[in-house]
């Protein structure tokens, strides 16, 4: 399909979500498509997220070079906690703590980020597109706009921070939530649930910039125009963006997780100093490999699914 310029002669924007033409159904399609991605991702990857969070919360060294048995025992205890000595199915069930909080957070997060980023990108293009294109060039300018929109959405995610905090506590420190309902928790803890908001924003800004920017750059290199990507192209772009995002955000993600777990009263800067001094540089990337190992399938069921399902819903709702 040829690219046509609009009435104001702006070139088409390389999208990281399904394109829109302003017709009805666009907003609903973005919500429904992103929600499908969130539900799918939650059901499949919640256990992996639990494993990563528990590894990041483990302060002692888990690897014993001279003893495979000791290493295995350490990992078993760190990952499964109280379920370390029970059977396989009980261990698997122990990886689903905080599923309720996780569901609320993950679905809202995906709808907000995947469904909202295209609106921010369109706003940037309308108001600042010429500046981006004159500074970075036509193609690179489109990629930078997509990345910038993603970064802005990432910072705005701190509005969902309480649900993320409760999900992390359920995964790493469930005792702190026992005997209390959701309303009681919010009433008693209040603004404390926003602890680590600054570190979360600091993590999300470069992480989301890399996610959307990496995906947009990959599509640009593959010659995808107007967001008309196939499942395979979307998957490749998503893996590239997510790999960059998770790696860039890993050090701040460790600090954020420890702040929000409820097991430490230290400030983020104190945690940063203690990590560097007592646990070494490798501690900043603890839990990174479990995340990276599932980047491909995770993005197939989240970022890729969102983009493809948004297109499906738009066609069904008369959005294009």
Please tell me which residue, 146 or 195, carries the higher pLDDT value.
Answer: 146
Helix (H) or strand (E) holding 177: none
Q: How far apart are CA 207 and CA 211, in angstroms?
A: 6
Beta carbons within 8 Å of 212's beta carbon, 6+ residues apart: 16, 117, 146, 147, 149, 150, 151, 241
Task: Quote the pLDDT of residue 15.
Answer: 45
> How buried is 60 (Cβ within 10 angstroms: 0-12 exposed, 13-18 middle, 19+ buried)?
exposed
- The answer to whether residues 143 and 82 touch, using CB atoms and an 8 Å cutoff, is no
Q: How far is CA 33 from CA 19, 212, 227, in A?
A: 13, 17, 15
Percentage of the chain lying above the pLDDT 90 cut: 30
Give me the chain's average pLDDT, please.
Answer: 82
Range 70-89 average pLDDT: 90
Distance CA 85, CA 32 (A): 41
Q: What is the pLDDT of residues 265-296, one digit of tens each?
A: 778 888 888 888 888 888 888 878 877 775 55
Element (H, E) at 139: helix 138-156
Q: How many Cβ atoms sit within 10 Å of the Cβ of residue 64?
A: 13
Candidate from 66-80, 273-287, 294-308 with smallest mean pLDDT? 294-308
Average pLDDT over residues 97-123: 86
Q: Is the pLDDT of residue 82 over 50?
A: yes
Q: Is 320 helix (H, G, I), strand (E, B) or coil?
A: coil
193, 166 Cβ separation under 8 angstroms: yes
* pTM (global) more than 0.75: no
Q: Which residues of 170-204 are buried (b: 16+ CB within 10 A; e: fewer)?
A: bbbbeeebeeeeeeebeeebeeebbbbbebbbbbb
Give dist(CA 282, CA 63) in Å, integer: 12
Q: What is the pLDDT of residues 221-255, one digit of tens each?
A: 999 876 678 888 988 998 899 889 988 988 888 88
pLDDT at 180: 82
């Amino acid at each position: 399909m040829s690219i046509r310029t609009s009435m104001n002669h702006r070139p088409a924007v390389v999208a990281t979500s399904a394109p829109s033409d302003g017709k009805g159904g666009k907003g609903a399609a973005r919500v429904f498509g992103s929600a499908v991605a969130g539900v799918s991702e939650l059901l499949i990857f919640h256990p992996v997220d639990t494993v990563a969070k528990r590894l990041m919360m483990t302060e002692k060294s888990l690897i014993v070079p001279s003893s495979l048995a000791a290493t295995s025992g350490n990992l078993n205890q760190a990952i499964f906690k109280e379920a370390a000595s029970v059977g396989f199915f009980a261990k698997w069930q122990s990886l689903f703590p905080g599923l309720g909080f996780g569901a609320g957070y993950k679905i809202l997060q995906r709808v907000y980020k995947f469904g909202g980023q295209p609106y921010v990108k369109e706003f940037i293009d309308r108001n600042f597109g010429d500046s981006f294109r004159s500074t970075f060039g036509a193609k690179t300018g489109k990629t930078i706009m997509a990345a910038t929109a993603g970064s802005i959405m990432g910072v705005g995610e701190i509005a969902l921070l309480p649900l993320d905090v409760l999900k992390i506590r359920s995964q790493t420190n469930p005792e702190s939530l026992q005997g209390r309902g959701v309303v009681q928790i919010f009433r008693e803890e209040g603004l404390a649930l926003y602890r680590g908001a600054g570190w979360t924003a600091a993590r999300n800004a470069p992480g989301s910039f890399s996610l959307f920017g990496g995906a947009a750059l990959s599509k640009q290199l593959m010659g995808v125009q107007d967001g008309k990507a196939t499942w395979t192209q979307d998957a490749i772009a998503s893996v590239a963006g997510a790999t960059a995002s998770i790696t860039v955000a890993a050090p701040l993600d460790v600090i954020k997780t420890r702040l929000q777990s409820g097991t430490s009263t230290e400030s983020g800067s104190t945690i940063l100093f203690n990590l560097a001094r007592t646990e070494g540089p490798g501690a900043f990337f603890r839990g990174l490999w479990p995340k990276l190992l599932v980047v491909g399938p995770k993005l197939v069921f989240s970022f890729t699914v969102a983009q493809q399902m948004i297109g499906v819903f738009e066609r069904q709702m008369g959005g294009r």
